[in-house]
């Protein structure tokens, strides 16, 4: 009931401005959305943050359609920013991926321009279960993607090699960094080792090509937010995680740069 009344409020509030501010409505990938179409959307979550850069809090709404006969899958996810002073609004797709489970947004000044960006995350579901990530700026109420999300969402690349005595190596190709690790549970590779822990076959490991989670954290306390990424290193199947790779990205010269990486056996 509360969500419904908020949506009605939004529709009423925005309808008044629609006629005079129609030019401010922006949407990517779906063409323009008229105000009637918004009636089909639910509000998943609502926030108050300044994302336009005038030091006045704006209203940020995460909108989506429910897919019939499913509990949690959302489709046509949208982010709506209503300017705190003028009530002009823009509506933006999260990127090339706009449907999935448990969509979330969080806020942080990642590009160090003094204005918070929006990090949007949407889980894919399925056995890979990666999470789509994108970072959007709404500075001056103009939405744009500040990262190359197609490239970013492929994740980092690794070569995973098993060794005797339940040891294995994970080599990250972006930083050319090698991690020596030990399986926390030998039964994760039931056919790869003999009873003494020596390799009996040439089984190799792999990784999920994408992150399953990211977080905005000021890791080095320099007041610029870093993006922390989590990616699964796997054994013989997608559900067989043997390690988590935790990357720290900083936004520099118009792109996210990988600054540090650790890999931990799980």
Binding mask 110-139 for Ca ion (x = CB under 5 A): -x-x-x-x----------------------
Nearer to Ca ion, 49 or 98 (CB): 49
| Range 75-114, binding Ca ion (CB under 5 A) | 109, 111, 113
b/e for 30-69, b at 16 or more Cβ within 10 A?
A: eeebebeebeebebbeebebbbbbbeeebbbbbbbbeeee
Element (H, E) at 83: none
The least distance separating Ca ion from the CB of residue 16, rounded to whole angstroms, comes to 30
- By CB under 5 A, residue 242 contacts Ca ion: no
The least distance separating Ca ion from the CB of residue 116, rounded to whole angstroms, comes to 6
Stretch that binds Ca ion, among 5-13, 32-40, 219-227, 255-263 (CB under 5 A): 219-227
**Cα 79 to Cα 137: distance, rounded to the nearest angstrom:** 11
The least distance separating Ca ion from the CB of residue 217, rounded to whole angstroms, comes to 8
104 in Cβ contact with 120 (< 8 Å):
yes
DSSP single-letter state for residue 67 = P
Pairing of strands 241-252, 213-217: unpaired
Residue of 140, 148, 174, 220 interacting with Ca ion (CB under 5 A): 220
Whole-angstrom Cα Rg for the chain: 22
Residue of 16, 222, 264, 266 interacting with Ca ion (CB under 5 A): 222
The residue ranges that bind Ca ion (CB under 5 A) are 109, 111, 113, 115, 117, 218, 220, 222, 224, 226
């Amino acid at each position: 009931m509360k969500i419904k009344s908020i949506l009605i409020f939004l529709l009423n509030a925005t309808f008044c401005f629609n006629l005079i501010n129609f030019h401010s409505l922006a949407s990517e990938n779906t063409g323009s959305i008229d105000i009637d179409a918004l009636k089909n959307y639910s509000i998943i979550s609502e926030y108050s943050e300044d994302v336009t850069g005038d030091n006045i809090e704006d209203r940020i709404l995460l909108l989506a359609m429910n897919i019939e006969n499913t509990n949690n899958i959302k489709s046509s996810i949208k982010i709506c920013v209503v300017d705190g002073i003028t009530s002009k609004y823009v509506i933006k797709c999260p990127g090339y991926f706009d449907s999935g489970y448990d969509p979330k947004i969080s806020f942080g000044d990642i590009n160090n321009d003094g204005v918070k960006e929006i990090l949007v995350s949407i889980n894919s579901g399925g056995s890979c279960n990666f999470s789509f990530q994108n970072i959007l700026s709404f500075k001056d109420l103009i939405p744009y993607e500040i990262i190359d999300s197609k490239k970013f969402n492929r994740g980092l690349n690794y070569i995973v090699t098993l060794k005797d005595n339940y040891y294995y190596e994970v080599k990250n190709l972006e930083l050319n960094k090698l991690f020596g690790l030990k399986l926390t549970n030998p039964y994760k590779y039931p056919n790869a080792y003999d009873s003494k822990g020596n390799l009996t076959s040439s089984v190799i490991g792999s990784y999920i090509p994408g992150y399953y989670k990211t977080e905005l954290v000021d890791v080095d306390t320099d007041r610029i937010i870093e993006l922390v990424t989590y990616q699964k290193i796997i054994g013989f199947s997608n559900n067989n995680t043997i390690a988590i790779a935790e990357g720290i990205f900083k936004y520099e010269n118009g792109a996210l740069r990988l600054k540090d990486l650790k890999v931990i056996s799980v």
